[in-house]
Amino acid sequence: MQLIVDIKNKSISDKIVRLLKDFKDKGVEIREIKKAKQETEFSDEYIEKNWLDIIRKAHVPEDYENSEQYMEDRVKDWEERGKI
């Protein structure tokens, strides 16, 4: 059985981990998983520098960067940000 516990308070988490470690010899395995922030806001500067990586991480067609749609999307984006 797996159990995921999300503990916000560090002092409580230390106590819970110590308690669970007492059961290590009984087969309890403890793994810490750090959650990444799911919604991240990017500054315009970050987007300008890293736009290609952002696109690659998105679910887009493989040849999107060379497509007509890509050019249209970039123009629209730049217009919305007042760059052109």
Q: Which residue has the higher pLDDT, 2 or 81?
A: 81
Res. 75: pLDDT tops 80: yes
Res. 37: pLDDT tops 60: no
pLDDT tens figures, 16-31? 888 989 998 998 888 8
pTM of this prediction exceeds 0.75: no
Q: How many angstroms separate the CA atoms of 78 and 82, rounded?
A: 6
Q: Which residue has the higher pLDDT, 33 or 30?
A: 30
Res. 9: pLDDT tops 80: yes
Asked if 30 contacts 17 with a C-beta cutoff of 8 angstroms, the reply is yes
